[in-house]
Chain A
Amino acid sequence: MVDFLQFLVAGLSQGAIYALVGLGFSVIYRATHIVNFAQGEFVMIGGLGTAGALSFALPMPLAILSALVAGCVAALVLDLIVIRLARFAPALLLIIVTIGASVALRGAAQLAWGRNFHSIPSPFGSEPLHVYGVAIMPQVILILVTTVGAVVGLQWFFRRTRFGQAMLAAAINPTAASLVGIELRHVYTATFLIAGLLGMIAGLLITPLAMVHFESGLAFSLKGFAAAILGGLGSVPGVVAGGLLLGVVESLSAGYVSSAYKDAIAFLLIIVVLLTRPEGVFGRRSTGRV
């Protein structure tokens, strides 16, 4: 039982990270119908950027700020490149462009921060708490709380703020939205910034527990995409559930089956889920019209 709880906690915190990355995929997909495979690079930038700045003896808040600035610049550039193409290019081309962007970001990170593994200290230290025999790192609690905060904040932004609602409207019907005066360019830019921030938050949260280096982004892209697909790409609660499910399944299979095959089990689960629910667990089913 203690084992199980231990695995569950580990899975939930890993899953929360996947959920944040998946939300980045989802936000961009909803607004632009682009699957942005560079999404995981923001996780890398968040972690590596902060670690890099810390190595110049910057205080933590400034280090985080510098990483966020770097990531936002990357998001803006990405927006500029991808959105220009999105008007005429088919989906596969856009996937290739985002992959190109992710390779370029990896290359830039390598130039800026080198090829070594880096970590950043947790603000709450590395002494685990013991709750009913389950060892919990304080950072894990921070991950869960921050993720909940980010999701609530995102929902609040989309539901309650004028700009957020405009973004939703533009996602549902861009033509109509631009007719009522919503500036689509700004919407897209904001979308990429939000997605970038979500990824960087994930990076800041996970780096105290798992080291990053310039090639770490790809794994997060794959897991985040998987989480988003499980959630049906569109819905915020769906993607969060998808991410948590992925993290927990991975952790339980590592604990009970085989740590070597945890990724295989997770991806097999996704395939099985897709076969029974071809539009994701939480995706809406529809009959294609002809």
Chain B
Amino acid sequence: MPFFPAHKLPLAVLGLVLVALPFLFGGKYQLSILILIGISAIVCVGINLLVGVAGQISLGHAAFFGIGSYASAVFTGDYGWNGILAMFAGILITSVLAATVGWPILRLKGHYLAMATLGVGLVIQLLLIQEAGITGGPDGRAVKALTIFGLRVKGEWAWYCIVAGALFVVVWGAQNLMSSPWGRALRALHASEPASAAAGIDVHQMKVAIFAASAGLASFAGSLYAHALAFVTPDQASFLHSVEFVVMIVVGGLGSVYGSLVGAAILIVLPQVLSSLSDYENLAFGVLLILVVYLLRKGIVPTLRLIAVGGGR
């Protein structure tokens, strides 16, 4: 039934999982991995709305993550701003920038759009590397601790709570959006632009809106990352990091909000496991990536859902 709030159930499960996880994996190192997963998952939820739901490829979103990181680093470090204020300034700057850049480039399609977003990402990363006076150059710079209402956020537990809380809110919002007319229009324009336009949907405006929104979300996650690790480098804004986000949503499931979380978890945990293979790490990672796409074409979460639905009959 469309109006039974079916999306409330998975959300409740997510809440339970988020509460249970730190008790299952409570070590310092394990918590730090969970924090990284949560931060990536926040980015992926946004990118999945853009790429998976609206069908607009971006190979440059790590740059927006990077802008968020550096906004927090610079505004708190050099200007003495409050961390929360810096975070919101970062989100605002990133969203406005993304909307400005997105307005022209989102008229492009497919591979041409991929090229343009890739180019935007590279240019932004280059700025972060070259403007060393502000950014600290290729080696990056340290970031001040985050203070909320005068309290310094310290330690893995505190960061886990913040990231998990943020992730929960982001997933809640994304679920709401997906089951709203706005989300429906987003899916519609992916399926057929002419028919969407004929139904009164301003296709281009919606693309720009989701591009800017997902960029803002990436910036938010970037700010969390900067404070949580107390350090930023231009690598966070690299092409490879952008690709990593896209790989996460493809592995987890294009268009699936929860797939974004699963993909992020796998792509963060996998390299940790593989790093024990030292020299074989790259080879193993590449082969695994190919295998996952091969075996789970629709991504993990949609595949599981299909199996569940099939088994229920």
Interface on A for B, CB 8 Å cutoff?
35, 81, 84-85, 88-89, 91-93, 95-97, 99-108, 110-111, 218, 222, 225-226, 229, 233, 260-261, 263-264, 267-268, 270-271, 274-275, 278-280, 290
| Residues of A contacting B288 in the complex (Cβ-Cβ under 8 angstroms) | 100
Known: A92-B254, A99-B289, A218-B239. A104 touches B283 (CB 8 A): yes
Shortest CB-to-CB span from A208 to chain B, Å, is 26
Give the secondary structure class of A's interface: helix
Partner of A95, one of B105, B107, B114: B114
A261 to B123, CA, bound (A): 8
Known: A274-B116, A275-B105. A264 touches B127 (CB 8 A): yes
B167 contacts chain A at the CB level, 8 A cutoff = no
Shortest CB-to-CB span from A7 to chain B, Å, is 20
| Chain A, residue nearest B126 (CB) | A264
- Of the four ranges (under 10, 10 to 19, 20 to 34, 35 or more), the interface on chain B belongs to 35 or more
Count of A-B contacts judged by CB separation below 8 Å: 124
Shortest CB-to-CB span from B190 to chain A, Å, is 11
| Chain B, residue nearest A215 (CB) | B282
In addition to A97-B289, A110-B283, A222-B122, 6 A-B residue pairs with Cβ atoms within 8 Å of each other are: A96-B246, A99-B243, A103-B282, A111-B279, A229-B115, A274-B115
Known: A92-B57, A111-B279. A268 touches B119 (CB 8 A): yes
Query: Contact at A96–B250, with CB atoms within 8 Å?
Result: yes
Query: Contact at B287–A104, with CB atoms within 8 Å?
Result: yes
Query: Contact at B105–A105, with CB atoms within 8 Å?
Result: no
| Residues of B contacting A218 in the complex (Cβ-Cβ under 8 angstroms) | 239-240
Partner of A103, one of B110, B123, B127, B286: B286
Shortest CB-to-CB span from B132 to chain A, Å, is 10
| Residues of A contacting B306 in the complex (Cβ-Cβ under 8 angstroms) | none
A218 to B109, CA, bound (A): 23
A100 to B284, CA, bound (A): 10
B309 contacts chain A at the CB level, 8 A cutoff = no
Query: Contact at A271–B283, with CB atoms within 8 Å?
Result: no
A81 to B119, CA, bound (A): 28
The contact sample of 11 A-B pairs, CB cut-off 8 A, is A35-B111, A84-B294, A92-B51, A96-B289, A100-B290, A104-B289, A107-B283, A218-B239, A260-B126, A264-B127, A271-B119
Shortest CB-to-CB span from A140 to chain B, Å, is 26
B147 contacts chain A at the CB level, 8 A cutoff = no
Binary per-residue interface labels of chain B (230-268) against chain A in the complex, 1 for a CB within 8 Å, 0 otherwise:
000000000110010011001000100000000000000
Shortest CB-to-CB span from B103 to chain A, Å, is 10
Shortest CB-to-CB span from B59 to chain A, Å, is 8
| Residues of B contacting A261 in the complex (Cβ-Cβ under 8 angstroms) | 126, 130
A260 to B138, CA, bound (A): 12
Known: A99-B289, A106-B282, A110-B282. A229 touches B111 (CB 8 A): yes
| Residues of A contacting B294 in the complex (Cβ-Cβ under 8 angstroms) | 81, 84-85, 97
Query: Contact at B110–A91, with CB atoms within 8 Å?
Result: yes
